[in-house]
Chains A and B, each alone.
Chain A
Amino acid sequence: MTSKEMINSASALDYNLGIPENQADELMFPALNAIRDNDPVFWSEINHSWILTKHSHILEAFRDRRYSSAGSFLFGMEHHIDLDEVPNLVKYSRNWLINMDGKDHISIRKALMPVFSKASIDKYIPLIDEIAKELVDEIASKGTVDYVMEVAYQLPARVITAILGLERKHLDDIKRWSDILVLTILPQHLSRENLITGERAMAAMNKLVLSEMDVRRAQPRKDLLTDFVRLVDSGALSLDEALATLQIVLVAGHDTTANSNVLALQALLKHPEQMAYFRANIDRAIDFIPELMRYTAMSATQFRIALEDIELEGKTIKKGDFILLSLAAAHRDSATFESADTLDLTRDAAGHLTFAPGFHFCLGHYLARLELSIYFKHLLQRFDNIVVPEQETEQNGNFVFRGIRHLQASFS
């Protein structure tokens, strides 16, 4: 093949991840599969980035210090706004766990791990169970709902608010700040407007958190905010690190869980035999979440910056290059998953990359699986009939955490 033919064939493969419509399954998976099968270390002119698509490459990248997270968030912020206008974003983004590497990263991670361990999170089972039942009761009383807005987003919003120990009156603020911060921190939405809105949301959230931490300093409670007070007062975390982490807890556990819920329900409805299997083995719900996450690829993309030149399959990723790790493509990699395009709840999907297994392995991975499994148990035990009529769906425009904006569904 001549170099010109290579360029032309590479261009034919290129795929704009920034267009919301391009996140739809029927467009996205074929396009990413084609990149993986033809040019797995692909320079995308459209996205100004490398795109890695092989499972083995991405798994390795998550564990390779040359693929850096540090500085990858709010990358290029200074080109959109004078940094003096966003002092909170500048200050706290430096302390986001997802934006750090090395010894500082591990020190903070180490402090947080006991708070998010299975033993700690299991204490919230009754709380999560109560919220799941409450939501299912609401669905029953309505019959037909916008599943995205009235159900899927409510679950993590209520769970996070409750686990933090905040009163339900703060729920709307919690959700609004989470929505804003997602737009602020994800690369495709970087704009002056979103940065200013994010700055204000961050300031407001910090104000509430600081006030609530003071309350718990005087009277400790059995909640996450009290855990964070202890971490700060013991010196395990600085106050800035605690506030920064709580911002990420808010974002990381919100859209992700909501979108996973919606996409999982859609997948189960499209595969009645899998739905039947799930219902027949409902007590193993938590075991099915990994396969649902793999198949639906809600967590579709991660990103890193090359700390040095990286040679990979004959290509040279240059120091400073932006790298998109396509988990969606990796999840359909037949070199790793047999019949990768098939939803199979009997599969051992432990190799899924949803939680970025590696240095930045999601601290909330167990909470996410637990929350969804408890919720789906209640949902599927309560409703024999779930109908999603034919409808146009609008992508949320987030190529990192995919989802749709609305979904009419009826339950009986």
Chain B
Amino acid sequence: MPKVTYIESNQTEHVVEVEPGVSVMLAAVENGIPGIDADCGGAMACATCHCYVDDSWLDRVPETDIMEDLMLDCVAAERNANSRLSCQIDVSNELDGLVVRLPESQH
């Protein structure tokens, strides 16, 4: 099963096995990983599941579409080139080893 590494802002690492098809957000929430709030439950409606995809993975995650791009402007932490809404990244076998960093706060 693919594994995702979540790195909190305090550098605490969590490595989680994620069923293919489950979003990076949902896996974080279901595994109690601090740093992802996901108030809207994964519908791109709240911008509180913000993560920074490790540069080595940026070209391998699914592309951002125009609606996610609009919502990324609403994230509380700084938006960077590697910012993504984690509810929009579904884990797959090809993303085994994915690394994401979490902002200090989603609000």
Least distance between B31 CB and chain A CB atoms (Å): 15
B-side contacts of A107, CB under 8 Å: 70
- Is the C-beta of B81 less than 8 angstroms from some C-beta in chain A? no
A-side contacts of B44, CB under 8 Å: 106, 359
Known: A117-B76, A118-B107, A361-B46. A106 touches B70 (CB 8 A): yes
- Is the C-beta of A57 less than 8 angstroms from some C-beta in chain B? no
Complex alpha-carbon distance, A110 and B71, angstroms: 6
* Interface residues on chain A, number (Cβ under 8 Å): 20
Known: A106-B67, A118-B107. A113 touches B74 (CB 8 A): yes
Neighbour of B45 across the interface among A117, A118, A360, CB < 8 A: A360
Complex alpha-carbon distance, A113 and B70, angstroms: 12
* Residue interface mask B15-27, A partner, CB < 8 A = 1: 0000000000000
Q: Which of B43, B44, B67, B76 has its CB near the most chain A CB atoms (within 10 A)? A: B43
Contact status A110-B74, CB under 8 Å: yes
Neighbour of A63 across the interface among B41, B66, B76, B107, CB < 8 A: B41
Closest residue of A by beta carbon distance from B67: A106
A-side contacts of B42, CB under 8 Å: 63, 358
Contact status B107-A117, CB under 8 Å: yes
Complex alpha-carbon distance, A59 and B42, angstroms: 10
Contact status B41-A361, CB under 8 Å: yes
Neighbour of A109 across the interface among B41, B45, B66, CB < 8 A: B45
Contact status A361-B107, CB under 8 Å: no
Complex alpha-carbon distance, A110 and B46, angstroms: 9
Known: A117-B107, A359-B44. A103 touches B39 (CB 8 A): no
Complex alpha-carbon distance, A119 and B74, angstroms: 13
- Is the C-beta of A153 less than 8 angstroms from some C-beta in chain B? no
- Is the C-beta of B100 less than 8 angstroms from some C-beta in chain A? no
Contact status A119-B43, CB under 8 Å: no
- Is the C-beta of A62 less than 8 angstroms from some C-beta in chain B? yes
* Residue interface mask A85-124, B partner, CB < 8 A = 1: 0000000000000000011001101100110011100000
Contact status A361-B39, CB under 8 Å: yes
A-side contacts of B40, CB under 8 Å: 357-359, 361
Contact status A59-B45, CB under 8 Å: no
Closest residue of A by beta carbon distance from B87: A63
* Residue interface mask A53-78, B partner, CB < 8 A = 1: 00000010011000000000000000
Neighbour of B66 across the interface among A103, A113, A361, CB < 8 A: A103
Query: 18 A-B contacts, Cβ less than 8 Å apart?
Result: A59-B41, A62-B41, A63-B41, A63-B42, A102-B67, A106-B67, A106-B71, A109-B71, A110-B70, A110-B71, A110-B74, A357-B40, A358-B40, A358-B41, A358-B42, A360-B45, A361-B39, A361-B41
Q: Please give 20 more A-B residue pairs, beta carbons under 8 A apart, in addition to A114-B74, A361-B40, A361-B41.
A: A62-B41, A62-B43, A63-B41, A63-B42, A63-B43, A103-B66, A103-B70, A106-B44, A106-B67, A106-B70, A109-B71, A110-B73, A113-B74, A117-B76, A117-B107, A118-B107, A357-B41, A358-B41, A358-B43, A359-B40
